[in-house]
Amino acid sequence: MFTEIHSFLTTLSKKPANYQICEINWQDIIRWYTRGNDDCKHYLVQGLALHSQIREEDIHTLLNISPSLESFNNMQNEAQTRAKTSFIRRVQKNMPQIKETSLTSEQWLELLRRFTKQNSSRLTASFLTHHLSEIDPSLTTGNKEQRPIRKAKEFRHGNKAQPHAKRRKYKDADADTNCLILEERPENKALHTTLVQQGVRLTQLEPATPEKNYKNVCRTPGGRKARELWKHITGETSITFFKHKTPSPKKVQLTENMQEVRKKIPKLRLFRHTEPVFFVATLEKLEQREPTRRIGQNQLTGLSCQKVFAAYNPTVVIESHSKYHWSHLIAHYFGGEQSIQNLVAATAASNYNILDMVEHFIAKKLIEDNIAAINIRVDPAYGDNEDIPTELVFSLTWEETNTPRAETIRINPRSHERFTSATLKTVNFIRDKFANFIEAEPDITSPKL
């Protein structure tokens, strides 16, 4: 029942802020409230209060005494009107240039809903600037302050020891280990010698029973299971690499379910994606993006990513240098939104893996190789009663040298295993090998790779 309620509230959060519940949903609400335990009731009422601005106590009273949809909708209209009026005054204290007529009633309610979602009661200028720019970009376009130009810059002497940077580059303890596995086939024989020299394992693979988290699974001659990691397609030619499943010590096990986490963090509002995310990356969008983010991920979500992981697994230690990052499904660098809908909780290692395998590659194609556009599709996969994905599947398609190209990269956002330099070297080798490949005409023999 908790999962049904969570699915309904997720759908409700995508509706316009002034949306009113229909009769079918109202009957479900009555059923959940009547038959659910105290936790289900509290979670349901909390979600309804967030959308309607009605006090939780009043919703409990209505559902216990007289569960009328008409009464609920009337209460929503009154509550939203009062809350909107009060909220407009608070906004104008922070940003006097924003008038009541600057936004429509629906836009004010959407801004109010976004503010209510955060775990802080503080209304800041950075919060308003960020969300107003998403609701109506024209409101913030003319309000950017020009920073004074720096007249001098500190000169770094080459012979003088420099302090260590606070952000150190991630170093893998075993950079020479290559995790890639390739099935030995006649069609990729020309690549065998080079790949073996790079540490790729060539072997025979047998199909294995698909698992809950991984659909494409094979078994090596030694009996170990391997999952599909990366697939490259050029025209009708394809090559697929696997890797052994991540050992348990190197990935986070979620021991708590979504319902228990909601008790620890009542205002947690992670966005669970039920549909793929699509985006077209172009050089124009990359150049037009905002150079800096108006608001940080922690401020946007109301808490740090490591606290979310700690709520799902109490053994996770809260550290000053976190091993957990909020990860963008569509990179801000390409023009992706800085919003809860575009963020997922992930390990730092998996976030770097996305940067190395996906984002750097797209940037290179757009900037250096002059590719017009790259279509990005991201499919987050979730386990039951969990808000942290089990897998992120990045599907890229583009056209190069008049030949269709595609790649599929599978990232485990719960894994602490970082792709090594040896692994990335092989990936770049295959990409470069296929870069100038031209699909042959039907009556011409294709060039060997």
- pLDDT-based confidence at 293, cuts 50/70/90? low
Assess contact for 394 and 406: CB atoms under 8 A.
Answer: no
Residue 335: pLDDT above 80? yes
- pLDDT-based confidence at 373, cuts 50/70/90? very high
The reply to whether 168 falls in a domain is no
Please check whether residues 195 and 93 belong to one and the same domain: no
Please check whether residues 238 and 256 belong to one and the same domain: no
- Output the pLDDT for position 294: 67
449 vs 362 pLDDT, higher one: 362
In the 8-state DSSP scheme, what is residue 347? E
Least confident of 6-10, 52-56, 233-237: 6-10
pTM: 0.74
Assess contact for 210 and 227: CB atoms under 8 A.
Answer: no
Q: Please name the amino acid found at residue 199.
A: G
The reply to whether 147 falls in a domain is no
Please check whether residues 117 and 45 belong to one and the same domain: yes
Strand partners, 128: none
The reply to whether 403 falls in a domain is yes
Please check whether residues 405 and 365 belong to one and the same domain: yes
Average pLDDT of the residues in 18-31: 90
> In the chain, what percentage of residues exceed pLDDT 90?
24
The reply to whether 431 falls in a domain is no
Please check whether residues 276 and 412 belong to one and the same domain: yes
Computed over its alpha carbons, how large is the radius of gyration of the chain? 26
- Output the pLDDT for position 140: 57
- Output the pLDDT for position 174: 58
- Output the pLDDT for position 405: 92
The reply to whether 207 falls in a domain is yes
How far apart, in Å, do the first and last CA atoms of the chain sit?
A: 55
Please check whether residues 265 and 188 belong to one and the same domain: no
The reply to whether 372 falls in a domain is yes
Average pLDDT of the residues in 198-220: 84
The secondary element (H helix, E strand) that includes residue 431 is helix 421-435
Closest residue by Cα to residue 51 from 90, 10, 98? 10
- Output the pLDDT for position 377: 95
CA 129 to chain centre: 22
The reply to whether 145 falls in a domain is no
Highest mean predicted confidence (pLDDT) among 120-134, 136-150, 236-250, 260-274? 236-250
Domain boundary among 139, 173, 191: 139
Domain boundary among 244, 263, 287: 244
- Output the pLDDT for position 443: 36
For 397-443, what is each residue's pLDDT tens digit?
999 888 899 999 999 999 998 999 999 999 999 998 887 665 443 43
Please check whether residues 44 and 121 belong to one and the same domain: yes
292 vs 76 pLDDT, higher one: 76
Average pLDDT of the residues in 86-100: 86
Closest residue by Cα to residue 139 from 114, 111, 116? 111
Number of domain units in the chain: 3
Strands 403-411 and 391-400: antiparallel
Residue 112: pLDDT above 70? yes
Please check whether residues 223 and 298 belong to one and the same domain: no
Q: Which residue has the tokens 């963090």?
A: 265
Strand partners, 239: 232
Residue 375: pLDDT above 80? yes
Please check whether residues 199 and 272 belong to one and the same domain: no
Residue 75: pLDDT above 70? yes
Average pLDDT of the residues in 11-17: 85
Domain boundary among 197, 213, 244: 244
Residue 121: pLDDT above 80? no
User: How far apart (Å, rounded) are the C-alpha atoms in residues 239 and 278?
Assistant: 24
- Output the pLDDT for position 407: 95
Residue 299 is part of a domain; what is its CATH number?
3.40.570
Residue 103: pLDDT above 90? no
Average pLDDT of the residues in 390-397: 94
Highest mean predicted confidence (pLDDT) among 138-142, 258-262, 399-403? 399-403
For 165-198, what is each residue's pLDDT tens digit?
444 444 544 567 888 999 888 888 888 889 999 9
Please check whether residues 239 and 265 belong to one and the same domain: no
Q: Please name the amino acid found at residue 123.
A: L
* Residue 203 half-sphere exposure toward CB, CA atoms < 13 A: 20
Sign, CA dihedral 108-10-396-399, equals negative
Please check whether residues 200 and 267 belong to one and the same domain: no
Highest mean predicted confidence (pLDDT) among 23-27, 160-164, 443-447? 23-27
Q: For residue 243, give the 3-state DSSP assignment.
A: strand
- Output the pLDDT for position 347: 92
Residue 147: pLDDT above 60? no
- pLDDT-based confidence at 449, cuts 50/70/90? very low
Q: Per 3-state DSSP, what percentage of the chain is helix, strand, and coil (rounded to 5)?
A: 40, 15, 40
Residue 149: pLDDT above 70? no
> What value does the mean pLDDT of the chain take?
82
Please check whether residues 215 and 345 belong to one and the same domain: no
Domain housing 197: 181-244
The reply to whether 240 falls in a domain is yes
Average pLDDT of the residues in 328-336: 87
CA 55 to chain centre: 32
